[in-house]
Amino acid sequence: MVQPRLLLPDSPALIAGFGRGTLLTPDGELFTGSALEIGRRLRDMPPPMVVHAPATAKRLGIGAFPACDLLELFAFCQPARPAAPTPRGLAIALDRDPPADDEAMAALLPDLATALLRHLAAGRNAPLNRDAAALAAKLGADGNWPWADSILAALGQQARPSLDPLKVWRRLPDWEEAAPPPPPSAHPVTSADARRRLAEILGEGAEQRPQQSDYASAAAAAFEARATRGAPNLVLAEAGTGTGKTLGYVAPASLWAERNGAPVWISTFTRNLQRQIDQETARLYPEPAERRRRIVVRKGRENYLCLLNMEEAVGAAGMAGALLPLALVARWALATRDGDLMGGDFPGWLTELFGPHAVWPLADRRGECIHSACGHYKQCFVEHSIRRARGATLVIANHALVMVQAALGGGEDGRPLRLVFDEGHHLFDAADAAFSADMTGAEAAELRRWLLGAEGGRSRARGLSRRLEDLVGDRPDLLLPLEEALQAARALPAPGWPNRLSDGEDPRTTAEGFLQAVRRQVLARAKDEEAGYGIECDIHPLPEPVAEAASILAESLTRLKTPLQSLHDRLAARLEDEAEELEVGDRIRIEAACRGLERRALMPLTAWTAMLGTLSAPPRAPGTRPDYVDWFALDRREGREVDCGMHRHHLDPTQPFAMAVAAPAHGLLITSATLRDETGSGEDDPEAAWRAAEARTGAAHLPSPAIRAAVASPFDYATRTRAFVVEDVSKTDPAQIASAYRALFTASGGGALGLFTAVRRLRDVQSRIAQPLAERGIPLYAQHVDAMDNATLVDVFRAEEAACLLGTDAMRDGVDVPGRSLRLLVFDRVPWPRPSILHRERRTHLSEGQPKSYDDAIARHRLRQAFGRLIRRADDKGVFILLDRSCPSRLMAGLPPGVVVRRLGLRDAVAETRAFLDEAPATP
């Protein structure tokens, strides 16, 4: 068989530093110089070969320039394969040893391009590449893409340019409906069973970790047969970092699922952590096809590629700049495991290459899905994942999805019988978000958009009338309530409401009138009404104008809810009245319509009318414990008003969690490295620590006591870590904070994670230290600054040993970076809870008379979580630094046993950090 020739663009290779670069010409000439000189030389050369063109231009400090971006070639040739979007990260992804200097890296770029084209050539007859030539030809003809000729040469064929390859729904498989699964068996998993399964997963010759086996044994108790309705087998298991808890609970969970014919749902807090757990399961099912069948990742609809949105984007693919990103998404869509655009196997750096507008509109938008009315319903990624989950062994979800579906009576996936909540310390916060209600301008305007559809602007939002037109037809019993509802929906905030609200213009709708009244009360009573961030105030005493506006709005919402409820009930009645006449497709569409009306309209309207109704009730007597906490808030972003309204949260959100999620299940494992609050002061009360854990996880609201288990970390923290509190840096002086970060990051030579309690301070520090660090060869990345998702930022940080990363809460809890890539962690200040009205009420009523201890426990827990990022395996070593001299010693006492916290000045902290990290590695 004739092998196709490989053809590389006649291009130089460029590696950029900050304000300087290294250029390798096609003739082999190597030049390193200033950005000015690099820019001058580029003007006389073909577009250079680079990795991440926008980042290259940014580092050089020059404008965007034409380039042959290897990331684009990688996304075309190896779609759905992960790679950190840097030269080093790409080299690692292609199994090359990354060079130590820029000169060698520049020489490697053509080799990486050759490797990608060879991979494509080797698979040119694979189904994935059936239409690759036509797509490349289209990109070359219409988009002048510099890699087009190289790809056509690698494929060994010429083709007519065509947009047909973008129509991926034509090649995606249909899902098939199956009979409802039979009820699961109730065969238990014993401790011995769990230990044996764990040994099988680890394989012969694996490192012996007694703590991991003990943990798996304890976790097995969650998979006993339930004895009493409403009383699940509940295990609270704290497993110190390094225990190996993921495989520890996967062992009994997978065994129970296999024995009993039902999936176990594993829930964690963030998408990044979902991906980490998914990667760990490769040890259980290493064969890809079996793993895809047995392991399913479930997320909310807004995370997935919407094929209807894709179809509309293909129709507009002739727009400037739209063709290439759409082509790379199409390539990925044919190779992806599950269609997850916001994580999983999607290259998150495509968003940074082409801008959010090129990718995010392709995802489903909340409430826009038309379910069975969609022409791509049978190929839908979401529907595929729902059906695969029913027959899976393990379903990896997140707390938000699990709780929202529980609040909806089980949702699309039904109620899981067995649940594992990893990162269980986040259950309180996750339940707080899931079981709350927000009657704000943004939420009300979103409901109006869902009901009325697009009112100007570019949007495919069809509105309720379009979504139901084939079900309603010309039936008066359905047309009348539909028309009444659409008329009543005009009481909700109209387009342009945020500007009218912030400018104080006259309201156009009754909802806007209420928002204006709330805004005036917040500005009058907030502690700092001139603050550039969100402000809030108590509801009572309620001024008459607010009460009057609330009463008018309540009547408007009732006029909207009544016809919607009638429409829902009459549609539902068709399922019974016309049971013998309805086609299967019509039945499915009616069920979906009723479900959408219930969840997207009736539920929020019920909550909002209840909230407005309480405004006319007498205020709660001081000192009495409320079931809910209500308040008014005015939200601001970067000094600009963006939303306003009324909020309602459960005082204790673990109560609805226990009733809606835990009680219906047969078994739950709630696990974390930091379930309990241990102060390390010598005065710990183990029983009190466990009671606090039960209160924060909802276990206290269940009838049967939880089984408690704790497994200590195997790591030698005393030897492998250092912890300092810097006492001569003012946390209120941005310049001092930035200088401290710069000095410490320089001392570590990179490999540093900087954590912040406020996005504003993170951005300020980033702007001050990015250039000085780059001049020292230390690249700096930052959450809320770089246009990458958190998972991609972590991938870059992991791949680049000299890089530093700045982040907030998600980085504090969601980073798993073993080795030298994370050797220093710097926290800007004590992470106290935000002093909000909601926190005030919980501090008062949930602290058992010790409000100071309540605050301490939250801050201590956050510091422990941050410290836990530092050591991920036995041979790691690292330094933890807090830049807050006001930190009480009692907070740092919660760090792992053996860690001695020292207070010193910045100069000494820098010197000791450098000396400790430069020490020759000792045998762990």
| HEC secondary structure over 647-680 | EEEECCCHHHHHHHHHCCCCEEEEEECCCCCCCC
One-letter amino acid at 240 equals G
Q: How far apart are CA 369 and CA 309, in angstroms?
A: 10
For the chain, which ranges sit under pLDDT 70? 1-5, 318-320, 366-367, 456-461, 529-532, 678-684, 814, 920-924
Quickly count: other Cβ atoms within 10 Å of residue 872's Cβ: 17
Query: Which residues 6+ apart lie within 8 Å of 431 measured at CB?
Result: 399, 403, 650, 653, 654, 656, 657, 698
> Is 205:286 a contact under the CB 8 Å cutoff?
no
**708 phi and psi angles, rounded to 5 deg:** -105, 140
> Crossing angle, helix 790-799 and helix 271-280, to 10 degrees?
60
How far is CA 396 from its chain centroid? Answer: 13
Q: How far apart are CA 911 and CA 747, in angstroms?
A: 7
Q: How far apart are CA 398 and CA 395, in angstroms?
A: 10
pLDDT of residue 805: 95
Token pair listed for 40: 């001058």
Query: Which residues 6+ apart lie within 8 Å of 398 measured at CB?
Result: 267, 268, 269, 270, 271, 273, 274, 299
> Is 837:538 a contact under the CB 8 Å cutoff?
yes
> Is 656:435 a contact under the CB 8 Å cutoff?
yes
Token pair listed for 54: 């926008």
Three-state SS for 587-617 is: HHHHHHHHHHHHHHHHHHHHHHHHHHHHHCC
One-letter amino acid at 845 equals H
Lay out the sheet containing 295-297: strands in order across. Answer: 295-297, 394-398, 264-268, 418-421, 667-672, 233-239, 707-711
pLDDT tens-digit readout, 315-373: 887 665 789 999 999 999 999 999 999 877 899 899 889 988 888 889 987 667 777 77
Query: Which residues 6+ apart lie within 8 Å of 123 measured at CB?
Result: 129
> Is 564:556 a contact under the CB 8 Å cutoff?
no
Which DSSP letter does residue 763 get? H
Which DSSP letter does residue 15 get? E
Quickly count: other Cβ atoms within 10 Å of residue 818's Cβ: 14
pLDDT of residue 663: 95
Q: How far apart are CA 412 and CA 924, in angstroms?
A: 48
**635 phi and psi angles, rounded to 5 deg:** -90, 140
Which DSSP letter does residue 642 get? E
On the CB side of 149, CA atoms within 13 Å amount to: 7
Q: How far apart are CA 338 and CA 224, in angstroms?
A: 32
Alpha-carbon distances of 844 from 586, 837, 849, rounded to whole Å: 53, 11, 7
Token pair listed for 239: 């497993």
Which residue blocks in 800-905 are alpha helix, DSSP H? 809-813, 837-845, 851-867, 889-892
Alpha-carbon distances of 769 from 746, 772, 782, rounded to whole Å: 10, 5, 11
Dump the DSSP string for 545-599.
HHHHHHHHHHHHHHHHHHHHHHHHHHHHHHHHHTTTT--HHHHHHHHHHHHHHII
pLDDT of residue 681: 47
SS3 525: helix
**Token match 């408007």: residue?**
556
Query: Which residues 6+ apart lie within 8 Å of 892 measured at CB?
Result: 723, 725, 863, 882, 901
Quickly count: other Cβ atoms within 10 Å of residue 481's Cβ: 21
Alpha-carbon distances of 749 from 134, 779, 824, rounded to whole Å: 47, 10, 10
Closest CA to 898 of 727, 720, 724, 725: 720
pTM for the model stands at 0.92
pLDDT tens-digit readout, 523-578: 999 887 666 678 999 999 999 999 999 999 999 999 999 999 999 999 999 888 88
Share of the chain residues as helix, strand and coil, in percent rounded to the nearest 5: 50, 15, 35
Beta pairing, strands 437-440 & 535-537: unpaired
Question: Checking phi first, is residue 117 left (phi over 0); if not, alpha (psi -120 to 50) or beta?
Answer: alpha
Quickly count: other Cβ atoms within 10 Å of residue 834's Cβ: 10
Quickly count: other Cβ atoms within 10 Å of residue 555's Cβ: 14
How far is CA 106 from its chain centroid? Answer: 34
SS3 228: strand
Alpha-carbon distances of 513 from 68, 262, 554, 564, rounded to whole Å: 54, 51, 12, 23
> Is 529:521 a contact under the CB 8 Å cutoff?
no
